[in-house]
Amino acid sequence: MSRSSVRVRRVAPGKREDRVRPWLFYFEATRMQVRWRNIIIISMLIPFVLWAEDGRSGFDFLRWDMGARPASMGGAFTAVSGDLYGLRYNPASLVGSHNRDVSFTYLNHLFDINSGFVGFNQSIGRFGLMGLGVFYTHYGEMRRTDITGENLGSFAPMDLAVTMAVADSLPGGFQYGVSLEYIYSRIDSYSSSAIAGGVGLIYHIPSQNMNLGLSVTNAGGALSSFVKVKEKLPLTYRLGVSKHLAHLPLLLNFDLIRYQYEESGKLGGFYWALGGEFTLSESVYLRWGYNSRGSEEKVGATSDRFAGVCFGLGFRFEGYQVDYGFNAFGVLGARHFLTATIPLSR
């Protein structure tokens, strides 16, 4: 759809009553509140989606898994609620997370790439819950040479993403979340920055103990370019389901993932992810997963048979939590995640 074919109609804000409403008007007022919240969410997302264009994208680190728990389940995390790491997958996931947790993740990536994340969430009263996160990647030291191959020293490329999200519950079993993200990348003396937004919904079905999730993330554009051409962001669409089994302590998650500028060779251009979390005890969790991107990155080596396979463990004690996650990348190696979450309030 071209930009010229999209019309955005401005809607004047409705009257807001902060005092206690009469009981006769309570249900109608609740319906109006839900309607206005939906309008606000859609209005915030439209500018970011219109910014996106056709072509290949940059800032690829925005597609990496973040956090040991979601990584060990193959990144199938769109419909999971109550987790700070929904900042990467679905901002609505913040709803239900423990108030005032601080979480740290170390990611030992392929080759000499290392990443770190620190995040924090905080209740903001009637506005729901706010999450803040900083994701940093260091690509190691690289040699700088001239056209003749003479050594001119070294440089260290890096990526940075700072994310803020707000999430809250809606009547009828819905949760929503909206995020805003500042992105910065540097290669030697060249740098680029961007701004992105995301929006997500989760619908809880109590009778089935199941969640349905939907999110759009990395919607936005570059503010500055490395040289002349501004890199596009990896606009991502996610649809997921998460279910607690009735007679087994197992959480099952399944996601369909579509990247605006990268299509899978199967399933109509969608990638998919499947993951599970088995509760061994009140304190110990066993996790496993698979992401279909692994099967499309195989090069024919023997070790490729495990590409896309994920697993991990989690330990929780009195609010403190430590998680480990493993992602197999076949002949390229593997990624290791270590996450520690500390409660600041009990």
* Whole-number pLDDT of residue 100: 86
Distances (CA, A) of 247 to 73, 239, 243: 21, 26, 12
| Sequence ranges of the domains in the chain | 35-343
**What architecture does CATH give domain 35-343?**
Beta Barrel (2.40)
Alpha-carbon distance of 326 to 328, in angstroms, equals: 7
* Residue 209: count of CB within 10 angstroms of its CB: 13
Distances (CA, A) of 29 to 34, 135, 171, 176: 9, 40, 12, 19
Alpha-carbon distance of 217 to 251, in angstroms, equals: 24
Q: Decide: 99 and 67 in contact? Cβ < 8 Å.
A: no
Bridge partner list, 223: none
DSSP characters over 149-187: --EEEEE--EEEEEEEEEEEEETTTEEEEEEEEEEEEEE
Burial grade of 282 (CB within 10 A; 0-12, 13-18, 19 or more): exposed
Burial grade of 63 (CB within 10 A; 0-12, 13-18, 19 or more): middle
* Whole-number pLDDT of residue 346: 64
Percent helix, percent strand, percent coil in the chain, to nearest 5? 20, 45, 30
Residue 200 Cα to chain centre, angstroms: 10
Place of tokens 């540097």: 186
Place of tokens 């994208």: 57
Instruction: List CB contacts of 25: < 8 A, sequence separation 6 or more.
Output: none
Alpha-carbon distance of 145 to 46, in angstroms, equals: 44
Q: What are phi and psi of 140, to 5 degrees?
A: 85, 170
pLDDT tens across the length of the chain (346 residues): 333 333 334 444 444 344 333 333 333 444 444 454 444 444 444 444 444 444 567 888 999 999 999 999 999 999 999 999 999 999 999 998 877 899 999 999 877 789 999 999 999 988 899 999 999 999 888 888 888 888 888 888 999 999 999 999 999 999 999 999 999 999 988 999 999 999 999 999 999 999 999 999 999 999 999 888 888 899 999 999 999 999 899 999 999 999 987 777 777 789 999 999 999 999 999 999 999 987 766 656 666 778 899 999 999 998 899 999 999 987 778 899 999 999 987 6
Kindly report the pTM of this predicted structure: 0.80
Q: What are phi and psi of 56, to 5 degrees?
A: -80, 155
Report CA torsion sign: 323, 329, 330, 331. negative
Alpha-carbon distance of 36 to 127, in angstroms, equals: 14
